[in-house]
Structure formats: C-alpha cells, structure tokens
Amino acid sequence: MLDTHERSRADVTVAVTPVSEQQVPSLGIMRTAADGRIVEFVEKPTDPETIARLRTPGLPGGCTHLASMGIYLIRRERLAALLEREHATDFGKHVIPMAIREDHVQSHLFTGYWEDIGTIRAFYEANLALARPDPPFDLYDAEHRFYTRQRHLPPTRYLGESRVSDSLIADGCTIERCTIEGSVIGIRTRVREGARIENSIVFGHDHYRDPCDGNRPLEIGAGAVIRRAIIDKNVSIGAGARLINAEGVLEAETDLVRIRDGILCVPKGKVIPAGTVI
C-alpha cells in the first residue's frame, strides 16, 4: 500500500476491497478511474441509482463494488489541512469526499481476508467463521503469524468426557462434561457439567471469581443452554438457564439481555439467575 501511495504520488491512498451488492449499504463505496484514482465516494449508499452508478465491472468472486477498508495513508501536511476544516469529524462522510474534490486520492486494491464487523451480526459471523474446519483466515498459518496478548494462564483442562467440535477454546478454561459446538470460548471460562453451548461467542472472564460480589464464581452453570448468543465479559450464568431466544425475536432489550438481528447478547457483568429462560 505504501508503494502504491508513493508511485502514484497521491495525497491520500485508501485501501479498498471487492464486496457484493448486498454489503454495499453498510460500507463506504467508491468509483475509480482506470488508473485507480478515486473519483467518487459515497458513505453507506442506499439509493438504487447511486448504487448502480458506483458499480465496478470485472471484480473477482462475483463482487460488484469497491469498498473502503477504513485504512488510509495521508501526507502529513494534507491530513492537518483536512482535519482543520469545520465539521470534518468523520472520514467516510467528510474527510475522504472533501479530499477527492481537492486532492489526488488513490485506491489500493486488497483481495485477501478482510471483514467489516461494525454490526452485531457481522461481528458474530466473522468470529464463528474462524472456528469452522475451513476458516476464511487461518490463525495457524506459520507464514502469517497472529500476535495476541500474553496472559500466562494455565492450559485449558477437560474434566470427564466432553463433546467439543468446530470450536476455539482460549487458555485458562475448565470444560466439565459438557457440549460445545461451533463456538468461540474466551479465557478463564468455566463450563459446568451438562451445559450446552451452540454457535455462540463467550468472551470469558477477567477473574475466576467476581471480586466485587462476595467472590462469586464466574461460570456457566450446570445444565445451562446457550444458543446463537454473544456473552460479554464477566457474565455469570446460573444452573439450568436457557439463553436460546425461544420466541425467535429479532430486536428486543431487557435488563438482562439485548437481542439484535436475532442474536441474543448478554452485556458485560450481568448475572443470569438459575432457571432463567430467554
């Protein structure tokens, strides 16, 4: 990308990636000239005529448009000048469209792995995709190392017979005679006997016990069921609780949970009482 920026003598270079028409309303979309210079940019277009005008022919994989990846290279003096403008508070809505009118704004095409996770559904699907047998991005590729924070936790242990498939389990967990399918399980998670987790993201815990609540264990209780859910950090789920969006609600909000696009989300630090059904 830096090479593209320097060779084109651009003031601004934007990393772009091919996307399908279905993704267009949630992204910043652009039209480019034959040399890759960006000539038009629209943030999250919904008007059919605008979407049609921004189409880019010849993209791979059945894609129809070029989207901004939110990664920019900008000459220092131009960045300062652009940000000093009144109301220039958003790159997609203000800074990039303004730069296109006044400067040389170049695109840099990237066709590797990239996901926009700006919505609950996008975040959910991108995380679970990494746990599939054929993930779109291989965390274990020795040629493209994945660096993460070192916490020096003990290894995850499995007590008794558990069934775990197509899942990622972080360090420091205790998996106790339970079932985990197609899920991502974060650090220090304790899953008690008979619990079942399906197609869910469990963020894990900062501690094994809650230091702010009588040293209460942070765990997923015995016999609990979690399905198509995102469980934020430091959540305690009581025995026999069922977080399954039983009524198939698309959007809802209660004291304990949020449901967004049909995905059940439990906010950070919540306590789900034993036997609760949601």
**Angstrom distances, CA of residue 158 to CA of 152, 154, 169, 242:** 19, 12, 11, 23
Task: Share the mean pLDDT of the chain.
Answer: 93
Q: Residue 85: its pLDDT value, please? A: 78
Predicted confidence (pLDDT) at residue 88 exceeds the cutoff of 90 = no
Please tell me which residue, 86 or 53, carries the higher pLDDT value: 53
The DSSP-derived string for 9-36 is T-SEEEEEEEE-GGGGGGSEEEEE-TTS
Digit-coded pLDDT (tens) for 18-40: 999 999 999 999 999 999 999 99
Mean pLDDT of the 151-171 span = 95
Q: Are 164 and 175 in contact (CB under 8 A)?
A: yes
Q: What share of the chain is helix, strand, coil (3-state, %, to 5)?
A: 20, 30, 50
Each residue's pLDDT tens digit, 44-82 = 999 999 999 999 999 998 999 999 999 999 999 988 888
Domains of the chain in sequence order: 2-114 (3.90.550.10), 157-272 (2.160.10.10)
Cα distance from N-terminal residue to C-terminal residue, the chain: 47
User: pTM higher than 0.75 for the full model?
Assistant: yes
For residue 266, give the nearest of 251, 277, 254 by alpha carbon. 254
Enumerate the H helices of the chain as residue ranges: 2-7, 48-53, 76-83, 96-102, 120-129
